[in-house]
Each structure stands twice: as structure tokens, then as C-alpha cells.
Structure 1
Amino acid sequence: MDILGLSFDPKTVILISLSALLPIIGRYRRFTRWLRLELNLLYLVLPWTVIVFAFGQSPLDYGLGLGDWRRGLAFTLIVGGAVAVGGAWAARRPDLCAYYGRGAVGAGSILAESAGALLGWEFFFRGFLLFGLGQLYGADAIWLQAVPFALAHLGKPWLEALLAFPGAVISGYIAWTTGSFWYPFLIHGAQMSAVLWAARRDQR
């Protein structure tokens, strides 16, 4: 791809451009009344479309399969348990309570809310970006995908924003070594569910 006399790799241009633009669009623009649906269209369906029609590949090449499920299960149980406990503890902070304290308190509702919020989000960063950049730059993609993920947390409670970068590196490592985005999704889901439960329990 030649632009203004310079030669660029087209996949790099697409991946980096979307990593910058989609989080901005997701935060500032609303096209429907259904936020979770909209975010999954943005972060899941659109990347799938790019993978199939622009890259000519299968979504399975981007971490959609189960990969090394034994390692993934171990990561999910150990890391997921740790971040769930940490999230429940951190959610007692006033800023996190204020940010996450409103909403349903039932276990089923919280799990559904977490899954709806994170499915596309995790695929975009730990699937589309990680494995797309990984095809070009190898394991360095773990660090590359962590940057837009961390920046997408600006405006959230400071502790959450601060931990977003190391959390993204750890999640990227798990996805890379297992070959699947599903395990970071489950881990992040455990953390978010614990935060919502703890923050809303204290608001009742």
C-alpha cells in the first residue's frame, strides 16, 4: 500500500487504524438504543467482516477456537479467581462504587451484563488485534494490543485505568500462549461480575 510516496503494510494500517478509531466511536457515538448490541456489532461483527473480506482469512485464525484448553482452563481458574477477589475488594472504593453501583443486582443479570459488555471487547483486543498483529510482529503483539486497551480506559476510575495496561499484557499473554481469546474473556468476565456485585451490594 503506497500513500504519499511511502509504502505501508495494508494489514498494519487497518489494524492500527481500527485500534484507534473504534474505541473512540464506541465511547462517543450511539446509533441504537441497545448499547450492548451496538458494542458487539462494533467490536465483534465489524472485525469478523474485516477478517473475512479484507484479509481473506477465517476468524479461527484470530483466537476464536478453544486452543490449548487445558492451559486455558488452568489460567481461567487461577487468574480468574484472583481477579474476582481483587475486583470485589477494589469495588468498595467510593469512585468504583459510584461508577458501577447502579444496575441489577441478581447474579443472572450481572453475568449477562458482563458477557454482553465484554464479548466483543475481548475479541477485538485479545483476538483481532493480538493475532492480527501477531501474524506480522510475533509475540510483540502482546504489548502492542495493550496500548489502545489501556487508553480506552481513560475517564474510568483511576485504579481501573492504572491497572488496564498490565492487565492487558497478562490477558494478551494468556490469549497468545493458549491460542484463544476465550480465556481472557472468561477471566475479565469474572472480574467485572465481582466488581458489579460488590459495588451494587453496597448500594442497596
Structure 2
Amino acid sequence: MEQSGFQIKNEIKKLLAIIKSLDKKVIYIFISIALLQTFSFYFTSRRFFRFNFFQYFQSDSNVFLIEYLYWFIGDFFSYFIFPLLIVRFLIKERIRDYGISFGDYKAGIKITVIFLVIMLPLVWIASSLPEFNKTYPHLTSAKYSWKVFLLFETGMLIYMFSWEFIWRGFMLFGLKEKFGYYSVLIQMIPFLILHNGKPAPETFGAIIAGLALGILALRTNSILYCVLTHMSVMFSIDLISVLRFKADDYGVGINSLINIIKTIL
């Protein structure tokens, strides 16, 4: 009687041999991303704050601002400090090799300016849509107070820096050695998935944005221009949305632009 070709002991040996042959750095990157994203969802998210800390601040008129700042600062650790420590002490590579440098600043500044020239008219048009008006800024109270608006945007900048580092820094540059430019496609996927639930134009736009920002990071060897570009777009969306709200003008023509400028003045 022939024995079955499947034996658990042999299968385990084969699996262990395969695991040992894998690139350890790539494993560290993928596993770290999985753990850090999960940690963020369960412990540094607005949801976690809402269930565990909201009750202690609910009498504060700025409770929702506090909730957002908890998220922004929490993810500064989840998406920047923790992966930074992984690079330094586990992977044992230089931090600047993960995009924390000025890189090719001449190309970075030029590309950023070109990108913004293209994006700002699109933001202007998109901000006239009812779906965008209801969504931005995410913190509703930022529409009524410039102080709250500036605090919120400062927190957003901290978050955006961390967000760009985890995808365009840690993941992109961490996988570049193994996958080359395919790493741009790899980092775009989780970036897109985390946009699900946002307005459809923004979610579909995240595909293009994820690819463009990945290419920008590799071209300049830095995440700083990704942060500048991404934050500039987000800030302009929030600012224009607030100005439209204050002016109660949601047109896209020159008269609407003039009317909104008068609101600033």
C-alpha cells in the first residue's frame, strides 16, 4: 500500500525552508505595515477615542477638535515614530534612505508647483459639489472659527507627514530594493483602500494620487514634496470649502470667485 505524498512533518520543513529563503527586510516591511495599520485602527483612531475618552471631554465645546487631535497625534506614533524605530533598530538602515531628506529639491519644488497648478482648478470645481460641501472640513466647527480651523489644519499637517511616511517612505522605499518601480503600485493599494467611504471623486482620485505621489517620492528621493503637495491640496479643499460656506456661494464662475475673495477681505 502506497503512502500518501502528504506528510505534515515534511510540509512544515518545506514551509520553514521557504520562509528562511525569503527576503527578511521585505517581510519586516509587510508585517510591520499590517501590525501598525491594525494598531492605528484599534488604538489611535477617532473610534477608539469616541468609546474610551469622549465621555471625559463631552462638556468641552471643542470635544470634536480634541477627538481629531487625538487621532492626528496618535497616528504620528503609529505611522511615523514606530516605523522609524523599526528602520533604525530592526532593519538597521539609515532614516534618510526612507525619504527623510530634501533629496532633489529643485525637481521636487518644480513638480509640486506644476501639480498644484493642475489641482487647484479641480479643487475649485469639486468644492462646488454638495457632497464635498457636506464633507469638508471634516471638523464642522472649523467652519465657524478660524482658531479652530488653524488648530485642525496644524494637526492635519502632523498627520499628513506621518501618512506620507508610512506609505511613500517606509513602504515605498522599503520595498524599492526588491521590487523597483513596482513598489509604487504596491503602496498605492492600501492607500486607496483607506480612502473607501470618502466622496467617490476623492476615492477614485486616490488611485491617481497614490501613483503620482509614489513616483514623486522616488524621483526626488524624498517624501517632503509628497507632504507639501498632499497637504496643500487638503488645505485648499478645507479653506475653499470654509470660504464658500461663509460667502454662501457655490458657483464656479469668476463672479463666485470675486464674491469669495470679498469674504476674505
Asked if Structure 1 and Structure 2 have the same fold, meaning a TM-score greater than 0.5 normalized by the shorter chain, the answer is yes
2:137 aligned with 1:121: no
Query: C-alpha distance in 1, partners of 2:71/2:152?
Result: 15
Aligned counterpart in structure 2 of residue 87 of structure 1, from 123, 129, 136: 123
1:153 to 2:195 alignment: yes
Sequence identity of aligned pairs in percent? 25
**1:119-167 deviation line (CA, Å, top 9, x unaligned):** 1001111111110010221121111111111111111111111111111
Q: Residues 2-13 of structure 1: matches in 2 within 5 Å? A: 4-5=15-16, 6-7=18-19, 8-13=22-27
Work out whether residues 19 and 148 of structure 1, in 8 Å CA contact, stay in contact via their aligned partners in 2.
no
1:137 paired residue number: 179
Say which of 98, 103, 112 aligns to 2:134.
Answer: 98
- SS of the residue 2:142 aligns to: coil
Q: Cα 1:151–1:130, aligned 2, differ >3 Å: closer, same or farther?
A: same
Structure 1 unpaired stretches of 5+: none
Partner SS for 1:37? helix
Asked whether the equivalents of residues 83 and 190 of structure 1 are also in contact (C-alpha less than 8 Å), the reply is no
Q: Is the 8 A contact 1:64 1:182 kept in 2?
A: yes
Greater shift, 37-46 or 193-202, is seen at: 193-202
Deviates more, 1:97-106 or 1:41-50: 97-106
Preserved contact between residue 83 and residue 187 of structure 1 (Cα < 8 Å): no
How far is 1:21 from its partner? 4.3
Alignment root-mean-square deviation, CA: 2.2
Residues 18 and 155 of structure 1: CA distance in aligned 2, closer, same or farther (over 3 Å):
farther
Count of aligned positions: 203
Q: 1:175 aligns with which of 195, 217, 233?
A: 217
Moved more, 113-122 or 10-19: 10-19
Query: Relative to 1, partners in 2 of residues 1:4 and 1:35: Cα closer, same or farther, differing over 3 Å?
Result: same
Return the index of the structure with the highest Cα Rg: 2
1:69 corresponds in structure 2 to: 105
Structure 2: distance between partners of 1:20 and 1:88 = 36
Aligned residue for 2:230? Answer: 188
TM-score scaled by length of structure 2: 0.70
- CA displacement 1:36-63 (0-9 Å, x = unmatched): 1101111110110110011001210101
Structure 2: which 5+ runs fail to align? 1-12, 50-66, 247-265
